[in-house]
Amino acid sequence: MTPPKHVWSGDWEAESEAEARRRAEAEAERQTRESQAAEAPTAVGRTIAPGSPADPYARPEGAPPRRGRVAALAIVAILIIGGGAFAAGLLLDGDDDSKSSTTPVAALPSVGSKPVTPSRGQTRAGAIYAAASPAVVSIRTSTGTGTGFLIDKQGTVVTNDHVVETSKDVQVKFGTDGRTIQGEVKGVDPSSDLAVVHIDASTIPGGVKPLEFADSRGVSVGDVAIAIGNPFGLDRTVTEGIVSSLGRTLKAPNGFQIDDVIQTDAAINPGNSGGPLLDDGGKVIGVNSQIATNGVTSGNVGIGFAVPSNTVRQVVPGLKQGKTVSHAWLGVQIDTSGASAPNATSGAVIGSVETGGPAESAGLQAGDVVKSVDGQEVRDSTGLSTYINSRAPGDKIKLKVERSGQTQDLDVTLENRPEQVPSQAGTQTTP
């Protein structure tokens, strides 16, 4: 079974690799230029400050930060703890760069879900489709097509980050009337693979009811799962299955880890990206994002993955306002091979520590085994990642680690995660 791939009808993987290479080359050149500028004045007797108008690598005023895509190459297939499961600690960075503080996120509400009662002669899937599909849209950019869905009457559409990528504007189409509507990308979060598109409320077709979110903590294995999307460009296709498993982890577009992912056998294919995964009450339990394939075909083999609704509920309000979501970062890479600590039977084994990161500052070392965090037992890498993801940048945590047979406590102050996973050759990968 090959690693999961994003279900986007464009050539996402090739574009990811090209963008990652471009960013690496640009960053290397920028660092070289900065080093040279620091050592000697320019021809006009001054250095060029990074970010100044004279700096060719400066981001234009008002432009969104550059966002790279990390490809699934062996040398960079690294997930650094600090992933995509979100709790009360999630923060938003304000648009004003002069502000050093961050603002706590207020999550979107969840609603109770009762199983839909079909009309006479109607299937349950048919009833859910009739109610939910009008709010499902197709999204087209210059590189491909995907899916999204309306969540309020103000014109907020949720989709995947890897669907919109660097686009500022996209084309949105409701299947109910076939009109093409211009949509503005308000915000993206590569760490959770989520994005928000805004359309003018007046363009929403009459009678379309926005979809509501269920609490994904209430989802159980075996529950009904219904996906609606645009696989291979086939408008608003519905597929039905079950929730196959919970608590899966996926690689986000920026290389970090998305936690608490829902696995389903509802058929999901290229073009389904960004569409809703619904429960038997027609409420959103996840956003369809990736599939696993057998290496022979890129189509469905019964293993699809959705970002859980509680992650969506937490991230979307900030993206809707055009803000940047901040994620807590520990700065370690996990060794799942057992090479760093062959005798460890439980805990998260540290494969390497990111230079200059919070873990290094606290004294964490490669080969350490994290046994608990803030008094809570850590059984494996997922447990550590999930806990870090529930905290916010600036939070202080206490790690109990085992090193050379001795146990010690380390105090760590979490920092804000970098834009993408720093690549480091020779490091063991994490799930």
CA distance 225 to 399: 38
> How far, in whole angstroms, is CA 129 from its chain's centroid?
27
375 burial class (0-12, 13-18, 19+ CB within 10 angstroms)?
exposed
- Beta strands at 396-403 and 376-377: parallel, antiparallel or unpaired: unpaired
Is the CA virtual torsion 118, 228, 108, 5 positive or negative?
positive
| Residues designated as active site | 162, 193, 273
Per the rule left: phi > 0, alpha: psi between -120 and 50, beta: everything else, 329 is beta
Write out the H or E segment, with its range, that includes residue 212: none
Helix (H, G, I), strand (E, B) or coil at 360: helix
Integer Cα distance of 373 and 381 in angstroms = 12
H/E element holding 125? helix 124-132
Chain centroid to CA 326: how far? 12
Task: Provide the β-strand partners of residue 173.
Answer: 138, 180
Which helix (H) or strand (E) covers residue 218, if one does? none
For residue 30, the surrounding DSSP H or E stretch is: helix 12-39
CA dist 136 and 142 (Å) reads 20
Task: Give dist(CA 252, CA 84) in Å, integer.
Answer: 8
In whole angstroms, what is the distance from residue 289 CA to residue 268 CA? 9
Amino acid at 379: R
Run of H or E including 295: none
Is residue 416 packed enough to be buried (19+ CB in 10 Å), middle (13-18) or exposed (0-12)? middle
Burial class (CB in 10 A: 0-12, 13-18, 19+), 126: middle
Q: What residue has token string 């991230």? A: 315
Torsions phi, psi for 307 (to 5 deg): -65, 125
- Strand pairing report for 348-353 and 276-278: unpaired
